[in-house]
A and B are shown apart, each in its own frame.
Chain A
Amino acid sequence: MDFFVQQLVAGLTSGAIYACVALGLVMIFVSTDHINFAQGEMAMFATYLAWAMINAGFEYWIAFGLTILISFAGGLFIQRVILKPLETAPVLSLVVCFIALLSIFNALAGMIWSYTIKQFPTPFPARDLFGNGLVSVQQIGIVGVTLLMLGILTVFFRYTTLGLAMRAAAQNATSARMMGIRVSWMLALGWGLAAAIGAVAGMLVAPIVFLDPNMMTGILVYGFAGALVGGIGNPLGAVVGGFIVGVLENLVGSYIIGNELKLTFALAIVIGVLLIKPAGLFGRVVVRRV
């Protein structure tokens, strides 16, 4: 029983990370119908920035906050400078562009900080929550930070006019422009937010998987699986999907297929969802009269 609880908690912890990655993917997908393959590498690069700041003597949480801000600006910049000129480009050009971004960030990180694995500090004390070896403070911290961020995003999208304008721009760009909403800037904001969310995921996961230029590659696959399970067009679904994938991966990994096949399992989920329920579990179909 103890083992089961441990695996469940571990699953929820990785699920929180996947949820962040999935949310970053969905954030860009809902407004542009594109999957940003560079989402993981952008997060990795941001994590290196945080690492550099902490090494330069910054307090952890200050580095954490600064990294989020810089990532937001970076996402904004990428959309404005690189993607906006490609607005009318065919989808394949964009895919190539995303893959280029992926390898650029990967190579850049390797070039600046080398490919040797680095330790990334955790702000959470290394001890048990209840002293019975079931839940660590670190795990609670990761899930807590994720939930806090999700809460902030929910409030932003639901209760602010800027959030509302972003949702409108994602749903119907032409109509949004007719309401005076600068749709192209809303896309840029979406990129900024996605990059910031990714940065949080990277910084949370780095103490567990260690920091290296390839650290997000596998995690991106899990995040993608999470987004698909929940419904790629539905932010809430993506978050729930991320948690589901995290828990399933851990339970299936420890009881059935062993740890080596975990990533394969994530890919199997991707294929399974696409075959059986392409809209995802929570792929809420917008009710529409015809």
Chain B
Amino acid sequence: MAALLEIRGVSAWYGPIRALYDLDLAVEEGGVTALLGANGAGKTTTLRAIINMVRRNGTMVLGGADISRAGTEDIVRRGVAQVPEGRGTFTGLTVEENLKLAFHTRKDRAAALRDMEMVYDLFPRLRERVRQQAGTLSGGEQQMLAVGRALMLAPRLMLLDEPSFGLAPLIVREIFQVLRRINAEQQVAMLIVEQNAAMALELADTVYLLETGRVVTSGPAELVRNDEALRKAYLGY
């Protein structure tokens, strides 16, 4: 398998504070990579660094093309969709308008309309609330909407920032099932940041463990799943 996204020697800063130290990371074509670690380890920063929303340097290659200097909007338009921390809902727009935003960047209107149907099929609850103001949705529904918005961009790579955050276990399960389906049926690669390590490890094939802005270990997901000492030390279970 070839790497869809490869980042080499990436460091990132918030003002004078360094948040990432020479990070190397890869996401395989159609693969799912989990990024685990404690709070403040630099997981969210890594996702932001990929779409150039934080000051960073280093090399980033997406599908063979260098995106180190590309702006956020251009990286997104090349097929990197972010499901942001806190869900990023456009609260004043309706559910449908939230999804239709993708029409602005996509030229293939017919395919975009098909994708909208697909999102409604994946999340029937969104279909029931098409005309509802998105700010009135429950947390779980807003998370579904965030995944739906990302899917509307017809992405090659989805960056998911804690999709389970603050949600009931049942909803988390539902969302992860859909993510698994998207990955299996459409070969969308995923880079997923999670506190819920068990859930992420079920989905992922590759794992990176982060601590204070550095990769401490990485490898196939089952390695971490089976290594109790590692799990206890870094993931707390």
CB <8 Å contact, A288 and B73? no
- How many Cβ-Cβ contacts under 8 Å join chain A to chain B? 84
Inter-chain CA distance A287–B135, complex, in Å, is 6
Shortest Cβ distance from A161 into chain B, in angstroms? 4
- B232: interface (CB < 8 Å): no
Interface residue tally of chain B, by bracket? 20 to 34
Shortest Cβ distance from B28 into chain A, in angstroms? 23
Which stretch (A122-130, A163-171, A213-221) binds chain B? Answer: A163-171
> Residues of A contacting B139 with CB < 8 Å?
289
CB <8 Å contact, B103 and A168? no
Nearest neighbor of A179 in chain B, beta-carbon distance: B101
Which stretch (B36-44, B92-100, B183-191) binds chain A? Answer: B92-100
> Residues of B contacting A172 with CB < 8 Å?
88-91
CB <8 Å contact, B89 and A177? no
> Residues of B contacting A181 with CB < 8 Å?
73, 101, 104-105
**B residues 46-63 touching A (CB-CB < 8 Å):** 51, 53
CB <8 Å contact, A165 and B104? yes
Shortest Cβ distance from A30 into chain B, in angstroms? 10
CB <8 Å contact, A164 and B101? yes
Shortest Cβ distance from B235 into chain A, in angstroms? 28
Inter-chain CA distance A165–B98, complex, in Å, is 10
> Residues of A contacting B97 with CB < 8 Å?
164, 167-168
Shortest Cβ distance from B20 into chain A, in angstroms? 19
CB <8 Å contact, B90 and A180? no
- B144: interface (CB < 8 Å): no
- B137: interface (CB < 8 Å): yes
> Residues of B contacting A277 with CB < 8 Å?
none
Inter-chain CA distance A164–B90, complex, in Å, is 11
- B30: interface (CB < 8 Å): no
**B residues 95-122 touching A (CB-CB < 8 Å):** 97, 100-105
Residues on B facing A (Cβ under 8 Å): 51, 53, 72-73, 76-77, 81-82, 84, 88-93, 97, 100-105, 133, 135-139, 149, 153
Q: 10 additional contacts, CB 8 Å, given A164-B97, A288-B91?
A: A167-B97, A168-B101, A177-B72, A177-B76, A178-B72, A179-B105, A179-B153, A182-B73, A287-B135, A287-B136
Residues on A facing B (Cβ under 8 Å): 161-162, 164-165, 167-168, 171-172, 174-183, 286-289
